[in-house]
């Protein structure tokens, strides 16, 4: 983070913006990318959380020069936003002043059923939209989900685990406001995982009995093949 | 047949169709189903599908 105190018409104003992409939140990136013709003052407003009119009232704009270089660096880093696929091991939410950290499991199956259905629909719509625009040929190569869709999927995925509440689709959708506070470089790989796994967001489980039956069947088949002297590659 | 009868009109309700079907049309049971582990719901859907296929085959056998 880089901080500078500047003078505006009403007194002193402290402005603090992230100095690296690792410090930017998902919500900030969403806001930055929403406006294609963003100027530096607007970018400073989004990254610092200081309302734009307060920044516009600064007496000497040369005071903001230090932020200009950072914004340029950040915009270059944002071009490679989708290149990071490393899943974080843990992720922390800050709800009403209380921090809650959860492990990010390697098996990211979506639970409960409501969250699964909602996530599946968001992902399917996003993929269909992409295919409609760019065609069906090798769509996976050019596909990057929108940040809005990523945010929605994460909201459904994390809502119950973080709040400890029962699943509620309306509250889960509102939970996007909390997801937006996550660091983009942590949140995005998790969300993208679901898009890449689609449509296999979860595995079927028919109970222990079926699992045992499957293993027993496999064992019998192997024994039969062995007795027939057929080698298995 | 189903297409002719206008089954596509239900498409706009998306996954709620599944929830409604699993709850036997009882709206008060929707939250209960939405909060079940997905794997259990999927197992039930597979069971329903298997049952319906079996019923169809059985009816075909009786009618022929």
How many C-beta atoms lie closer than 10 Å to residue A140's C-beta? 9
Residue A183 has what DSSP assignment?
Answer: B
DSSP, residue by residue, A131-165: HHHH-STTHHHH----HHHHHHHHHHHHHHHHH-P
CA angle A85-A88-A90, nearest 5°?
Answer: 160
CB within 8 Å: A167 and B35? yes
CA angle A160-A166-A172, nearest 5°?
Answer: 55
Mean pLDDT of chain A: 86
- Report the residue of chain A nearest B17, measured CA to CA: A117
Report the residue from A109, A112, A168 with minimal CB separation from B36.
A112
Residue A6 has what DSSP assignment?
Answer: E
A201 φ/ψ angles, rounded to the nearest 5 degrees: -80, -15
> In angstroms, what separates the C-alpha of A198 from chain B's closest C-alpha?
15
pLDDT of A63 strictly over 90:
no
The confidence score (pLDDT) of residue A228 equals: 42
The confidence score (pLDDT) of residue A203 equals: 55
The confidence score (pLDDT) of residue A233 equals: 37
- Report the residue of chain B nearest A169, measured CA to CA: B34
The confidence score (pLDDT) of residue A223 equals: 54
Cβ(A188)–Cβ(A121) below 8 Å: no
What average pLDDT does range B35-62 have in this prediction?
95
Cβ(A214)–Cβ(A207) below 8 Å: no
pTM as predicted: 0.82
The confidence score (pLDDT) of residue A96 equals: 86
- What percentage of residues in chain A have a pLDDT greater than 70? 86
């Amino acid at each position: 983070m880089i901080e500078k105190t500047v003078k505006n018409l009403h007194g002193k104003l402290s402005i603090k913006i992230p100095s690296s992409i690792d410090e930017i939140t998902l919500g900030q990136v969403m806001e930055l990318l929403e406006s294609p013709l963003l100027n530096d003052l607007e970018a400073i407003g989004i990254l610092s959380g200081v309302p734009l009119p307060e920044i516009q009232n600064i007496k000497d704009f040369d005071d903001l020069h230090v932020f200009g270089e950072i914004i340029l660096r950040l915009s270059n880093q944002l071009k490679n936003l989708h290149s990071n696929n490393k899943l974080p091991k843990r992720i922390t939410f800050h709800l009403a002043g209380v921090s809650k950290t959860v492990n990010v499991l390697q098996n990211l199956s979506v639970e409960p059923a409501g969250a699964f259905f909602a996530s599946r629909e968001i992902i399917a719509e996003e993929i269909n939209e992409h295919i409609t625009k760019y065609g069906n040929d090798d769509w996976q190569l050019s596909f990057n989900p929108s940040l809005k869709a990523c945010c929605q999927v994460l909201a459904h995925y994390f809502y119950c685990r973080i709040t400890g509440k029962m699943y509620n689709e309306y509250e889960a959708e509102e939970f996007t406001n909390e997801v937006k506070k996550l660091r983009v470089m942590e949140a995005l790989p998790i969300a993208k995982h679901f898009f890449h796994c689609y449509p296999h967001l979860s595995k079927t489980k028919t109970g222990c009995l079926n699992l045992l039956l499957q293993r027993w069947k496999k064992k019998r088949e192997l024994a039969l093949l062995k007795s027939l002297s057929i080698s298995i590659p | 047949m189903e297409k002719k009868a206008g089954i596509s009109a239900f498409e706009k309700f998306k996954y709620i169709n599944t929830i409604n079907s699993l709850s036997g049309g009882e709206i008060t049971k929707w939250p209960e189903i939405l909060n079940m582990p997905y794997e259990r719901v999927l197992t039930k859907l597979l069971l329903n599908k298997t049952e319906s296929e079996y019923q169809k085959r059985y009816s075909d056998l009786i009618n022929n």
